[in-house]
């Protein structure tokens, strides 16, 4: 595991994993709704 400094705050693997889950969910929703895909550039 590793921690990095982002915007003056320590971030670890869990932070990255949470962000990845949100992005994966956004991509899934975007595949079902073209308006959302266009809005978020997915």
DSSP-assigned letters across all residues of 8-42: TEEE-HHHHHHHHHHHHHHHHHHHH-HHHHHHHT-
Q: Is the pLDDT of residue 1 over 60?
A: no
* Contact (CB, 8 A) for 11 and 5: yes
pLDDT in tens, 5-27: 878 888 877 888 898 999 999 99
Mean pLDDT of 28-39: 92
What pLDDT does residue 25 have? Answer: 94
């Amino acid at each position: 595991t590793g921690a990095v400094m982002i915007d003056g705050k320590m971030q670890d693997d869990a932070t990255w994993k949470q962000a990845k889950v949100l992005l994966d969910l956004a991509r899934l929703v975007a595949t079902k709704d073209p308006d959302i895909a266009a809005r978020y550039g997915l």
